[in-house]
C-alpha cells in the first residue's frame, strides 16, 4: 500500500516554477490522503500566479499517476484572490525573489567563534575565482566583520532607482552594516530594527546579476535567521562547526531550525580541524572528525575540513582572504575545493 511519505517523496520531483526548490521543501503540500489506491493532495499557494498553479497541478498529477498502486489522483491547488494588478511567482506571501540572483545561500554556525565569517569570505572569493558572479551579505548586525576581512570600508552609493549600490572588493559585491556606521560605533538595537535592516539589505540593494548571494549569519537562531528565511526563498544553508562537542551541540539546533523552515542543508564545513607544528607534528586542539561524523548523523554532505593555518587569520586581518592573497597555498586550495563541492551540491 502506498504511504503518505511515498507521495511526498514523489512530489519532491516537482519544482516551483522559476525556482530550484521543490514544492514540498517550500511547504506548499498541506494535506495528503490515500484510500484504496485513490490519492488526494491539497496544496496552498499564496501567489496569485494562475500559470504557476496550473503547472504545479499538472506536474504533480503526472508524478503521482506514475507511482505503482495509484489508481486515481486528485490534486487541488488553492490560491488567494488576486488583487487588482497583482501577480508574481512567489511561493510565500512574505517572500520576495530578489531579481537577478540565481541562488541565495546562508552560511550559519549556531555558535560564535567557529570562523563562520572567515569561511564566508573565502568561499565568496573562491566562487568568484571559479567564474561565478558572487555577492556577500553580512547579516551580523551587532558584530560585522566582513568589511575588515574583505578589505574595504567604502560606503554604498545610491542609484537612480534610490537603491543602495554595494561596494565591490576582490570581485565580490558586499553589503554590511559596517559600511554604514563608524567602525567603533556599537549597534544598540532591538529586534524590529534588526529585522528591518536585513530586509532592506536584501530588497533595497542593487545587487545586479549574481550566480550566488552568500549570507553570513550571526550566531544563534533568532531575529536575523528567521528574517532571512521569511524574506527570501533560500536555496540552502552551509553549516560551519569546529570538531568539539560544545560546537556540534549548538550546530544541531541550527540545522533543526533550517529544517523547520524547509531550508535544505547543503553541507557542513569543519573549521579549525587540526594544527601542524613547524616540526610536522599534528595537534588536534579541538579534537578532530566531529564535523564529518555529524554530517553523517544528519545525512548531510560533508564539504570539507579547514585546518588551523596562521596564514588564514593573517590574510583576513589585512582584508585579503587567503583565496585571493595565496590561491595556490594549502589553505587557499582547501577553500577552493570546498567551493567546488558546494557548487556541485547546487548543480
Rounded to whole angstroms, the Cα distance separating 222 from 112 reads 13
On whether the CB atoms of residues 280 and 314 are closer than 8 A, the answer is no
Residue 135 forms part of a structural domain: yes
Mean pLDDT of 112-124: 93
Residue 271 forms part of a structural domain: yes
Share of the chain above pLDDT 90, in %: 54
Rounded to whole angstroms, the Cα distance separating 337 from 305 reads 10
- 159 and 287 together in one domain: yes
DSSP 82-120: PPTT-----SSTT--PPTTEEEEEEEE-SSTTS-HHHHH
What cell does 49 get? 500566479
Classify strands 134-138 and 29-35 as parallel, antiparallel or unpaired. unpaired
- 244 and 196 together in one domain: yes
Mean pLDDT of 132-161: 93
- 70 and 131 together in one domain: no
- 326 and 254 together in one domain: yes
- 114 and 149 together in one domain: yes
Q: What is the pLDDT of residue 90?
A: 42
- 71 and 177 together in one domain: no
Residue 95 forms part of a structural domain: no
Cα-based distances in Å from 97 to 79, 102, 117, 178, 210: 18, 9, 24, 25, 13
What cell does 125 get? 572569493
Residue 291 forms part of a structural domain: yes
- 122 and 208 together in one domain: yes
29 or 82, greater pLDDT = 29
* C-alpha distance across the termini of the chain, in Å: 34
Could you say which of 23, 47, 78 is where a domain stops? Answer: 78
N residues, the chain:
347
Closest by CA to 113, choosing from 208, 251, 226, is 251
pLDDT over threshold 50, residue 275: yes
Residue 49 forms part of a structural domain: yes
What does the pLDDT look like over 307-332, one tens digit per residue?
999 999 999 999 999 999 999 999 99
Q: What is the pLDDT of residue 21?
A: 76
On whether the CB atoms of residues 304 and 334 are closer than 8 A, the answer is yes
Provide Rg for the chain, Cα atoms: 22
Domains: count for the chain:
2
What does the pLDDT look like over 69-100, one tens digit per residue?
898 999 999 987 654 434 344 444 445 567 89
Mean pLDDT of 9-22: 83
Residue 96 forms part of a structural domain: no
- 166 and 263 together in one domain: yes
CATH number of the structural domain spanning residue 247: 3.40.50.300
pLDDT over threshold 70, residue 191: yes
Mean pLDDT lowest among 24-33, 184-193, 273-282, 296-305: 184-193
Model confidence at 184, pLDDT cuts 50, 70, 90, reads confident
The alpha carbon of residue 117 and the mean position of all alpha carbons in its chain are separated, in whole angstroms, by: 14
Mean pLDDT of 160-181: 93
- 121 and 60 together in one domain: no
- 72 and 120 together in one domain: no
- 187 and 282 together in one domain: yes
- 172 and 220 together in one domain: yes
Could you tell me which residues come within 8 angstroms of residue 99 by beta carbon, excluding any fewer than 6 positions away?
none
Enter the pTM of the model: 0.73
CATH number of the structural domain spanning residue 26: 3.30.300.130
Residue 84 forms part of a structural domain: no
- DSSP secondary structure letter of residue 81: P
Residue 41 forms part of a structural domain: yes
* Range of the structural domain that residue 245 is part of: 101-346
Could you tell me which residues come within 8 angstroms of residue 39 by beta carbon, excluding any fewer than 6 positions away?
2, 7, 32, 33, 64, 67, 70, 72, 73, 74
Amino acid at each position: 500500500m502506498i504511504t503518505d511519505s511515498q507521495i511526498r517523496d514523489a512530489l519532491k520531483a516537482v519544482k516551483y516554477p522559476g525556482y530550484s526548490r521543490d514544492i514540498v521543501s517550500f511547504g506548499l503540500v498541506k494535506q495528503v490522503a490515500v484510500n484504496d489506491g485513490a490519492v488526494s493532495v491539497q496544496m496552498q499557494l499564496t501567489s496569485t500566479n494562475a500559470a504557476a498553479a496550473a503547472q504545479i497541478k499538472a506536474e504533480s498529477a503526472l508524478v503521482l499517476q506514475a507511482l505503482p498502486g495509484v489508481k486515481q489522483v486528485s490534486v487541488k491547488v488553492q490560491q488567494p484572490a488576486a488583487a487588482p494588478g497583482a501577480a508574481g511567482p512567489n511561493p510565500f506571501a512574505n517572500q520576495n525573489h530578489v531579481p537577478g540572483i540565481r541562488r541565495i545561500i546562508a552560511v550559519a554556525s549556531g555558535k560564535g567563534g567557529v570562523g563562520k565569517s572567515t569561511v564566508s569570505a573565502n568561499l565568496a572569493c573562491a566562487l568568484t575565482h571559479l567564474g561565478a558572479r558572487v555577492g556577500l551579505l553580512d547579516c551580523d548586525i551587532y558584530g560585522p566583520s566582513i568589511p575588515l576581512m574583505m578589505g574595504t570600508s567604502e560606503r554604498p552609493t545610491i542609484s537612480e532607482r534610490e537603491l543602495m549600490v554595494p561596494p565591490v572588493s576582490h570581485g565580490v559585491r558586499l553589503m554590511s552594516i559596517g559600511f554604514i556606521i563608524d567602525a567603533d560605533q556599537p549597534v544598540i538595537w532591538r529586534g524590529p530594527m534588526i529585522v528591518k535592516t536585513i530586509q532592506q539589505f536584501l530588497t533595497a540593494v542593487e545587487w545586479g546579476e549574481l550566480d550566488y548571494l552568500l549570507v553570513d549569519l550571526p550566531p544563534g537562531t533568532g531575529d536575523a535567521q528567521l528574517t532571512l528565511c521569511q524574506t527570501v526563498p533560500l536555496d540552502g544553508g552551509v553549516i560551519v562547526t569546529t570538531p568539539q562537542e560544545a560546537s556540534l551541540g549548538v550546530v544541531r539546533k541550527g540545522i533543526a531550525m533550517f529544517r523547520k523552515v524547509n531550508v535544505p542543508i547543503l553541507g557542513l564545513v569543519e573549521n579549525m580541524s587540526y594544527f601542524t607544528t613547524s616540526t610536522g607534528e599534528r595537534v588536534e586542539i579541538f579534537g578532530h572528525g566531529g564535523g564529518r561524523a555529524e554530517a553523517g548523523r544528519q545525512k548531510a554532505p560533508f564539504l570539507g575540513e579547514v585546518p588551523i593555518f596562521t596564514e588564514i587569520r593573517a590574510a583576513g586581518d589585512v582584508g585579503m582572504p587567503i583565496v585571493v592573497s595565496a590561491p595556490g597555498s594549502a589553505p587557499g586550495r582547501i577553500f577552493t575545493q570546498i567551493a567546488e563541492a558546494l557548487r556541485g551540491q547546487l548543480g
